[in-house]
Amino acid sequence: MSGMGFIRVKGARVHNLKNIDVSIPRDKLVVLTGLSGSGKSSLAFDTIYAEGQRRYVESLSSYARQFLEMQDKPDVDLIEGLSPAISIEQKTTSKNPRSTVATVTEIYDYLRLFYARVGKPFCYNCGDPIEG
């Protein structure tokens, strides 16, 4: 079960994880279930998310890194197939019920500009491109 279609974790020993190996499918909705204290949060947040965030921060310029807190490397032998990581605290951050991940992470305006430049509009009735 290796390859780019999976996030592969090998030898995770964070908190109560006991040297576990797991392959998690990418681009799918994955649910971690188990008994209380079985290591679900340790795997999801303290191992996979922490390594994705650490690698992202490491890829930034040294100037940008000086303003960010560097996270410790999780106690794991190998993690493959990670993408940059975003985590949003589960709480009400806005009074607006229409808030999305894009608005909360403040990338909404950049995405609007990007799609305005590279996007191609199509007619929703017939599917033909709309020419200007």
pLDDT in tens, 50-85: 998 888 888 888 888 888 877 788 999 999 998 877
Are residues 111 and 60 located together in one domain of the fold? no
Rounded CA-CA distance 10/30 in Å is 18
Rounded CA-CA distance 55/65 in Å is 12
**CATH number of the domain that 59 lies in?**
3.40.50.300
Rounded CA-CA distance 131/1 in Å is 46
Q: Where are the beta strands (DSSP E) in 35-113?
A: 78-80
How much is the pTM? 0.62
Q: Tens of pLDDT along 6-34? A: 999 999 999 989 999 999 999 888 999 99
Rounded CA-CA distance 74/52 in Å is 10
Rounded CA-CA distance 35/33 in Å is 7
**Which residue among 85, 100, 118 closes a domain?**
85
